[in-house]
Structure 1
Amino acid sequence: MRALVTGAGRRLGFYLCQQLLALGWQVVGQYRREHEGLASLRAAGATLIQADFEREEEVRALAEQVVAGPLDLLIHNASAFEPGAPTLAGELAQFERFFRVHMQAPFLLNRLLAERLAASGRGSIIHLTDIYIHAPPPDLAAYVATKAGLHSLAMSAARELAPRVRVNTIEPGPILFLDEHGEAWRQQVLARTPLGREGGLAPIWQAVQLLMENDYMTGASLRVDGGRALATF
């Protein structure tokens, strides 16, 4: 069994690659920049390919390398995030980056790899979106709008590629705070999360496993957020 995981350089993507390798999967991981930890993935047998998702030609080159072999699973984990820009020009530049990473690259990969996934007999695509697509904060409009676009692409693909390929999404909540998140902000978020704690990466892997193993799920969205969405909507 062979999987492509995008955004494999760190955090969730890195973790998902580790879990798949531990189960004996052949793993192809896409990353944008070299990170120290990638050496351990290579040592464990992963094939790692550098590709900047802001560049269409690099997305196509990635697909050409992946399509050379079988493919059973595609996980769209790559993500771009930064605080809202203070000027309109900056906002437009952010929107372009977010669109390319969250929408254009997954759209291209789904198109270019669909036949390989269909040929596997158990092809599955999983899109990682965000719980805020349902209640977008004004200061993160470009980020959330393009994540919502990713969700829409997944639902369209679920209809288009059925019955040979299943397509589902996972909507993470406060799974793993960023280093720049201050303690006061973290406590504010957790106070509005019914389970009252940071989730960690394991719950996302458990959701991935469910979507991998349940062959009667397509067009589904799983919220893995500790109940955060209940307080957000």
Structure 2
Amino acid sequence: MSSPAVLITGAAQRGGLHLAKHLLQQGQAVIFTYRSHKAGVDELIALGGIALPADFATDAGIFALIAAVKQQTSTLRAIIHNASDWAVDAEQPEAAAALFRQMFQVHQQAPFLINLGLQPLLLAGAEHSGQMTDIIHITDDVVRRGSDHHAAYVASKAALENLTLSFASRFAPQIKVNAISPALLAFNEGDDATYRSKTLAKSPLGVEPGFTVLASTVDYLLQQPYMTGAILPLNGGRHVKA
């Protein structure tokens, strides 16, 4: 690639897919990862995105992704860590331990190793453009309060928010590192009316904003020259509602 690309992990569906489309439509080069092939993968390829299959369940899978990105480009404009694995806690101790390791691997180990492995490409991107480059971690609003049934998931996302602070300090001043902490932005087709009503009532704004708000927040961070180590809530004001 002749111009620095944006790497988005987990872009085959929902928010990651919307974000990748948004950037491609702006003329931004995009490399994206996916774990399983979905229709969204073909949509992004048709728009000019470069698709890389990736499995973050093992360190080998993470290192393979790092190597694959380096084969595609020598410079990066940004890394957006959107890959996520939502799972209910297991009751049986051995299964619970395996699930916790899985959450750790996807939400902590993968961003940690990718940030380290691709730092040279972000530095090259900063040199190429004369501007700071970016890392954006997509976390989860539920980190604020924990979860009865998704403790392993929430703990791993909380650790990702902490990594935001560490990398912001470590990679400054050439690379900015921030996080976006969204609540549910768009319902799934199968969500019933009761669930939708209960969810909307959790925030003062009481709306289903869609993934456009995620894209606009990413745009803001990419254009913001004086922010690093920030964790931006994207939750309709849930934190101010009792």
Give the TM-score range, shorter chain: over 0.9
Residue aligning to 2:228: 218
Alignment length (residue pairs): 232
Shift of 1:180: 5.1
Shift of 1:106: 0.4
Q: 1:158 touches 1:167 (CA, 8 Å); kept in 2? A: yes
| Cα distance in structure 1, aligned partners of 2:192 and 2:62 | 35
Deviations 1:114-155 (A, max 9, x none): 111012112100000011112112322101000001111111
Which of 150, 158, 162 aligns to 1:140? It is 150
- TM-score computed with the length of structure 1 as normaliser: 0.95
Deviations 1:65-87 (A, max 9, x none): 21242111100000000222232
What letter is aligned with 1:22? Q
Secondary structure at the counterpart of residue 219 of structure 1 = coil
| Cα distance in structure 2, aligned partners of 1:131 and 1:138 | 15
Task: Identify if the C-alpha distance between structure 1 residues 139 and 60 changes in structure 2 by more than 3 Å, giving closer, same or farther.
Answer: same
User: Does 1:130 pair with 2:140?
Assistant: yes
Secondary structure at the counterpart of residue 99 of structure 1 = helix
What letter is aligned with 1:206? S
Q: 1:199 touches 1:225 (CA, 8 Å); kept in 2? A: no
Residue aligning to 2:60: 57
Residue aligning to 2:129: none
| Cα distance in structure 2, aligned partners of 1:180 and 1:149 | 31
Greater shift, 88-97 or 118-127, is seen at: 88-97
Residue aligning to 2:212: 202
| Cα distance in structure 1, aligned partners of 2:234 and 2:152 | 22
Q: 2:143 touches 2:157 (CA, 8 Å); kept in 1? A: yes
Gaps of 5+ in 2: 127-131
The 5-angstrom pairing of residues 24-173 of structure 1 reads: 24-68=27-71, 69=73, 70-121=75-126, 122-173=132-183
Greater shift, 181-190 or 222-231, is seen at: 181-190
What letter is aligned with 1:210? Y
User: Does 1:188 pair with 2:203?
Assistant: no
What letter is aligned with 1:15? H
| Cα distance in structure 1, aligned partners of 2:42 and 2:190 | 25
Secondary structure at the counterpart of residue 37 of structure 1 = helix
| Cα distance in structure 2, aligned partners of 1:113 and 1:179 | 36
Which of 7, 17, 21 aligns to 1:18? It is 21
Gaps of 5+ in 1: none
Secondary structure at the counterpart of residue 84 of structure 1 = coil
Query: CA RMSD for the aligned pairs?
Result: 1.4
What letter is aligned with 2:51? L
| Cα distance in structure 2, aligned partners of 1:181 and 1:89 | 31
Secondary structure at the counterpart of residue 168 of structure 1 = strand
| Cα distance in structure 2, aligned partners of 1:137 and 1:42 | 37
Residue aligning to 1:228: 238
Shift of 1:213: 0.2
| Cα distance in structure 1, aligned partners of 2:152 and 2:101 | 9
Secondary structure at the counterpart of residue 139 of structure 1 = coil
Residue aligning to 2:6: 3
Shift of 1:186: 2.2
Shift of 1:179: 4.5
User: What is the aligned-residue identity percentage?
Assistant: 37
- TM-score computed with the length of structure 2 as normaliser: 0.92
